[in-house]
Amino acid sequence: MRVLSVVGARPQFVKAASVSRELRRDHEETLIHTGQHYDPELSRVFFEELGIPEPDYDLEVGSASHGRQTAGMMVDLEAIVEDERPDAVVVYGDTNSTLAGALVAAKAPPALVHVEAGLRSGEMTMPEEVNRVVTDHCSDLLLAPSEGAKRTLEREDVAGEVAVTGDVMYDTLLWIRDRLGGPADLAVPEEYVLATVHRAKNTDDPDRLEAILEGLRRVSKPVVFPVHPRTETALRGHGLWERAREDLRMIDPVGYVTFVSLLEGAVCVATDSGGVQKEAFYLDKPCVTLRETTEWVETVEAGWNTLVGADAGRIVESIESVGKLPPKPDLYGGGNAAGRVVDELERRWRG
């Protein structure tokens, strides 16, 4: 089987790491990096730490508006798909790199496979929601992380075939945990809250961003905050950067090894990241989500994740009241999702 995989942003490197490892045991993979993320701490570090093979193509698309960025990727991807003629194109998650790969494959001979299919926040104003819906409705094979995601796809009556594989990010987390040498080589307080913010809804609206900072600064424990470049630009643009640096432990984005280690050492995490909500669950950490909605609804229903939006009062209150977590359900499989992804591909292409 010949598979062409498309990645481009930080969470996709984490997802593709386990699938790529499994896939390459018996099959041929061509890896394309769109270049959506290009700073070494958002890109290269993940390839090095997770042993991801060098991309066969780097499209170097860089940052741009949604249309320009997605279209730029599509032009190059289309030419590569025509040249390589793979059996399948695999896309991950919900970024513009996902959408570009999906739109190209949907109109070309290879089948389109979506890993992390069936997630919905219900907010069509979120760029990622548009990417998810369009990708799912173009896909031939939809690999869902949970039964709930599968039900969503059935409700939407998608045309492709649906299977539940579990979450491939869990595989990667287990892989890295086996290799962690010890605590992160960062000077962190004994007790701290870890925070990440990068959603467009939170960064582009100065009132929301300020309310989040206000909530975090009122927390009694120190807050360690690796800052996504989008967020740094927004903080500077809204005149909030200096104050944030005074009140919070703002650090550059860290590599995956350091981030997982920081999460393991934290009292809890406050985040608007999709991936981090799940990693908190896997590492037995309470999660306070700085959004009104989430795609990872099962973590909220299980009592492991609290949605607080950008409300300063609710942020402090939720972080200060984290305590014992309820019994842990099995939500997203047992960390063997990548193997199941490859099984599903083989089942489909064996015939």
Stretch that binds ligand UDP, among 233-241, 252-260, 280-288, 316-324 (CB under 6 A): 252-260
Give CA 112 to chain center in angstroms.
Answer: 20
Classified as helix, coil or strand, 225 is: strand
Q: Which of 18, 30, 95, 135 binds ligand UD1 (CB under 6 A)?
A: 95
For residue 127, state whether it binds ligand UD1 (rule: CB under 6 A): yes
Q: Which among 138, 81, 137 is positioned nearest to 110, based on CA atoms?
A: 81
Smallest distance, ligand UDP to C-beta of residue 107, A: 26
Smallest distance, ligand UD1 to C-beta of residue 64, A: 8
Q: Which does 18 bind (CB under 5 to 8 A by kind): ligand UDP, ligand UD1, none?
A: none
- Tokens at 140, concatenated: 């031939």
Interacting residues of 13 by C-beta distance below 8 A, sequence separation 6+:
7, 43, 46, 47, 50, 52
For residue 286, state whether it binds ligand UD1 (rule: CB under 6 A): no
Q: Which does 127 bind (CB under 5 to 8 A by kind): ligand UD1, ligand UDP, none?
A: ligand UD1
Q: Which of 4, 7, 11, 132 binds ligand UD1 (CB under 6 A)?
A: 11
Interacting residues of 246 by C-beta distance below 8 A, sequence separation 6+:
none
- Whether 198 sits among the annotated catalytic residues: the reply is yes
- Tokens at 128, concatenated: 């990622």
For residue 198, state whether it binds ligand UDP (rule: CB under 6 A): yes
Smallest distance, ligand UDP to C-beta of residue 286, A: 16
From residue 68, how far is each of 73, 97, 135 by CA, in Å?
Answer: 9, 12, 18
DSSP H or E segment with residue 207: helix 206-217
For residue 118, state whether it binds ligand UDP (rule: CB under 6 A): no
Q: Which does 21 bind (CB under 5 to 8 A by kind): ligand UD1, ligand UDP, none?
A: none
What is the rounded distance in angstroms from the CA atom of residue 218 to the CA atom of residue 315? 9
Interacting residues of 260 by C-beta distance below 8 A, sequence separation 6+:
173, 176, 177, 180, 279, 283
Q: Which of 42, 134, 267, 283 binds ligand UD1 (CB under 6 A)?
A: 42
Q: Which of 28, 39, 82, 156 binds ligand UD1 (CB under 6 A)?
A: 39
Which spans of this chain sit near ligand UD1 (rule: CB under 6 A)? Answer: 9-11, 36-39, 42, 63, 94-96, 127-128, 198, 229-230, 233
Hey, which residues are catalytic here? Answer: 198
